[in-house]
Structure 1
Amino acid sequence: MSIYDIEVKKITGAQETLAPYKGKVMLIVNTATKCGFAPQFKGLQQLQDTYGEQGLAVLGFPSGQFMNQELEGDAEIAQACELNHGVSFPLFGKIDVNGSSAHPLFQHLTNEARGVLGSKAIKWNFTKFLVDRDGKVVKRFGPNDKPEDLVEDIKKLLG
């Protein structure tokens, strides 16, 4: 199965696959509005604003799996991201990223790009996965990797 075949739920509730992002470089991030790393939303938006026209798509997937640092409902999450963080890049419905209830997208991402010491588990919010234009998961970045630290890797994939 290709990453583009995986079904996702937009923050508005509509079901779709990642097919609309085929041919783009994707930066897929598990987010949380109440997390100490939430200031990274601004940096992620800046990446989208700067490189979106060249083919970058930043995709945010809210999760409350880490100390319940995400709001309850998708509508609340969307509002907080827009009003508090200026987010206009695509957001998707709240999901789990670890364990038996992990969303199939994050099962795929963690199988393809493992963390420290080969771990599949996501350690915290704002773990980032860089996916090339062909849908191959190229690199995994931890929460401490700021969006601006990813610029060189993104530029290489954008060509």
Structure 2
Amino acid sequence: MTSLYDLSDKKIDGQEVNFSSYQGSAILFFGKQEPGTAQEILEFVKQFDDKMEEKLEFFEKGDVNGDDARQVYKLLTTALPEEDGSIDIPWNFAKFLVDSSGKPIKRYSPKTAPVDIKPDIEALLKEGSS
């Protein structure tokens, strides 16, 4: 299986980023169907925290399913299919946790609340610090 660190993608500002720059970090991927432009998305999140853009990485909008899916989502969905074996993301807010070696380790349903993911993230962070 390809590692996340073999892939790259474009940030919301168009800058190409190789995921190898995140090596050693635990990463949570989540997508939301967003009708706005890149600028509208950033303005929206700044309503909640004007430093949000500095705290999180935002990537260009793109397909998450099908032939035109972004490479990162092809990796995540293939590595972590749904319980029924399907790989497509059924709706907004599906989430994927990737460990510090670039391996996708857990897929969360759109119904999983972010607070319910916290123990898994904390466990990964603890592993990384030991």
Q: What TM-score, normalized to structure 2?
A: 0.86
Q: Tell me whether 1:146 sits opposite 2:113 in the alignment.
A: yes
Q: Which residue pairs with 1:16 in the alignment? A: 17
Give the Cα–Cα distance (whole angstroms) in 2 for the partners of residues 129 and 73 of structure 1. Answer: 24
Q: Which amino acid aligns with 1:2?
A: S
> Map of 1:79-98 to 2, 5 A cutoff?
79-83=43-47, 85-86=48-49, 87-88=52-53, 89-98=56-65
Aligned to 2:98: 131
Match for residue 74 of structure 1 among 38, 42, 46: 38
Q: Determine what percentage of the aligned residue pairs are the same residue.
A: 36
Q: Which residue of 2 aligns with 1:39?
A: none
Query: Unpaired segments of 5 or more residues in structure 2?
Result: none
Match of 1:158 in 2: 125
Work out the CA distance in 2 between the residues paired with 1:126 and 1:97: 11
2:81 equivalent among 104, 114, 126: 114
How many residue pairs get aligned? The number is 121
5 Å-filtered alignment, 1:32-51, equals: 32=33
CA-based RMSD of the aligned residues comes to 1.3
Structure-2 residue corresponding to 1:63: none
CA–CA separation in structure 1 for the residues paired with 2:41 and 2:106: 27
2:39 is matched by which residue type in structure 1?
Answer: A
CA distances 1:70-121 after superposition (whole Å, capped 9, x unpaired): 12421222221222x4333111001100011111110000011111311100
1:101 paired with 2:64, answer no
Question: Displaced runs of 4+ in structure 1, greater than 4 A?
Answer: none
CA distance in 1, matches of 2:32, 2:21: 21
Distance in 2 separating the partners of 1:147 and 1:115: 18
The answer for unaligned runs of 5 or more in structure 1 is 33-69
Inter-partner Cα distance in structure 2 for 1:18 and 1:75: 23
The superposition leaves residues 27-60 of structure 1 with CA deviations (integer Å, 9 ceiling, x where unpaired) of: 011123xxxxxxxxxxxxxxxxxxxxxxxxxxxx
* Residue 12 of structure 2 is aligned to residue 2 of structure 1: no
